[in-house]
């Protein structure tokens, strides 16, 4: 591991909470694709499979920011454990309803309950921020490392989930995802020394973090980005099945995540002198353009190469997004603000997986790649339209709703020079 990454683990407790976060985030990469694989294995209905995955994503979109707002106010331990128990009970209900062939509506009820899974990435990033609040370069490296961990989860999560569902029994993937969630969350919340301090209600200014205009731009853009992720997962499983190698879908999706992982490692070694808004727009454009080769896909090897190249655009864009959220959201609301970005992704995943499932059922898997193509184009348009809003002055880091006229630091964070804020985020590509 390069020395900048070794340096961030000098803080006591950092290795332990990071490992707990790894286990807690694996379900994000396993649950949605596990449900798609499980339902398609048992029923052959990709529309139903995509609908259930979309329900999980929409429920996460509705519940995630509220859970994170409670975490900001009351602390991680008091909020995460009850929320996780609800998600685990819903997962158990979904598996039982599937095994016993209950009516479809019961599957959707339990899928909605799974949406109470907390945004573990947000919680881990908030711990890093508490450790390196006054060291912007260390904090940038820590967030880059967490983006790499996100991609590691999306490399191994689909492999584990799809592999278990196809080789062992259909329900195995979601079952193991629930186990990882329980172990990760309860281990993380047992680590009190690194838990960030809660912010009382009076420090929140009485409003949502979504009141920030800059955050609104990021969230809307990431709805389209999430649609890319959701559609690619569903379409890739169907395309691999059409090619006669359904289990290979996990390997192809792992290559997609590997590209992002490698890009994140390299990106974390650089520090930028200019504010992040311009390179964020460039990153979103790169994501959109990377969808074009998918329209020409004809076999699994070509698909793997195209997805690897597309993956190279993801982590740098996500890391830059975190810098922008920190710039535009007050410190007392940062966990909620980061979760709103995840919510945008979750809504997009829901739309993308649902639309892709319908297109697959009607036109076949290859046609399904038009869905991420259109979503990428929409993301580019929204990013250009919102660029000026992202360039406006940001709230003060310590306040609730004040405006700051200060310039950005070399990390792209507004406020007192050299002061880095608390924050947290999860890519629930998603999950999500």
The strand pairing partners of 395, in sequence order, are: 403
Q: Take residue 191 and report the two structure tokens written for it.
A: 């680590």
The pLDDT value recorded for residue 138 is 83
The pLDDT value recorded for residue 206 is 55
**E strands present in 91-211:** none
Locate tokens 């949406």: which residue? 115
The pLDDT value recorded for residue 431 is 36
Give the start-to-end residue ranges of the domains of the chain: 13-201+208-390
Q: How far is residue 164's CA from residue 34's CA, in Å, rounded to a whole number?
A: 9
Contact (CB, 8 A) for 276 and 327: yes
Alpha helices in 168-313 (DSSP H): 172-189, 213-242, 249-267, 277-289, 300-311
DSSP one-letter code for 403: B
| Residues sharing a CB contact under 8 Å with residue 308, sequence separation 6 or more, in sequence order | 255, 256, 258, 259
Q: Take residue 78 and report the two structure tokens written for it.
A: 């008091």
The span from the first CA to the last CA of the chain, in angstroms, equals: 27
Fold for the domain defined by 13-201+208-390: Growth Hormone; Chain: A; (1.20.1250)
Per-residue pLDDT of the chain (432 residues; tens, 9 = 90+): 457 788 888 888 889 999 999 999 888 878 888 888 888 888 777 778 878 887 887 788 788 888 888 888 888 888 999 999 999 999 999 999 888 888 888 999 999 999 888 888 888 988 887 888 778 778 778 888 888 888 778 777 777 887 888 888 888 888 999 999 999 999 999 998 888 877 765 544 556 776 777 788 888 998 999 899 888 888 888 888 888 877 788 788 888 888 888 888 888 777 776 778 888 899 999 999 999 998 888 788 899 999 999 999 988 888 888 878 877 777 777 777 778 887 888 778 778 887 888 888 888 888 888 999 999 999 999 998 888 887 765 555 544 443 333 333 333 333 322 333 333 333 434 333
């Amino acid at each position: 591991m390069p020395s900048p990454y070794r340096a961030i683990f000098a803080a006591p407790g950092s290795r332990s909470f990071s490992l707990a976060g790894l286990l807690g985030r694996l379900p994000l990469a396993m649950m949605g694709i596990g449900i798609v694989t499980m339902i398609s294995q048992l029923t052959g209905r990709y529309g139903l499979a995509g609908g259930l995955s979309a329900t999980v994503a929409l429920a996460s979109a509705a519940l995630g920011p509220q859970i994170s707002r409670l975490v900001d106010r009351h602390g991680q331990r008091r909020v995460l454990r009850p929320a996780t128990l609800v998600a685990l009970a819903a997962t158990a209900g979904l598996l039982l309803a599937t095994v016993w062939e209950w009516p479809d509506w019961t599957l959707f009820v339990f899928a909605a309950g799974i949406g109470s899974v907390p945004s573990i990435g947000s919680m881990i990033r908030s711990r890093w921020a508490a450790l390196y609040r006054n060291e912007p370069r260390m904090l940038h490296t820590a967030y880059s490392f967490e983006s790499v961990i996100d991609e590691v989860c999306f490399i191994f999560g689909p492999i584990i989930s799809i592999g278990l569902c196809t080789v062992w029994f259909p329900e195995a993937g979601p079952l193991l995802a629930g186990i990882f969630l329980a172990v990760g969350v309860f281990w993380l919340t047992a680590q009190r020394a690194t838990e960030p301090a809660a912010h009382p209600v009076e420090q929140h200014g009485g409003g949502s973090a979504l009141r920030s205009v800059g955050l609104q731009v990021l969230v809307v853009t990431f709805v389209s980005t999430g649609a890319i992720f959701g559609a690619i997962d569903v379409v890739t499983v169907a395309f691999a099945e059409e090619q006669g190698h359904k289990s290979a879908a996990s390997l192809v999706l792992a290559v997609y995540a590997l590209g992002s992982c490698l890009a994140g490692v390299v990106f974390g070694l650089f520090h930028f002198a200019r504010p992040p808004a311009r390179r964020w727009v460039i990153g979103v454009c790169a994501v959109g353009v990377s969808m074009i080769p998918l329209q020409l896909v004809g076999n699994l090897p070509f698909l793997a190469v195209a997805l690897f190249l597309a993956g190279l655009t993801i982590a740098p864009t996500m890391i830059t997004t975190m810098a922008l959220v920190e710039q535009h959201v007050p410190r007392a609301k940062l966990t909620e603000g980061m979760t709103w970005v995840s919510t945008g992704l979750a809504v997009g995943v829901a739309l993308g997986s649902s639309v892709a499932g319908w297109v697959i059922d009607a036109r076949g898997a290859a046609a399904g790649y038009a869905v991420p193509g259109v979503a990428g184009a929409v993301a580019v348009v929204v990013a250009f339209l919102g660029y000026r809003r992202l360039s406006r002055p940001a709230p003060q880091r310590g306040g609730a709703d004040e405006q700051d006229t200060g310039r950005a630091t070399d990390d792209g964070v507004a406020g007192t020079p050299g002061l880095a804020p608390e924050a947290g985020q999860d890519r629930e590509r998603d999950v999500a």
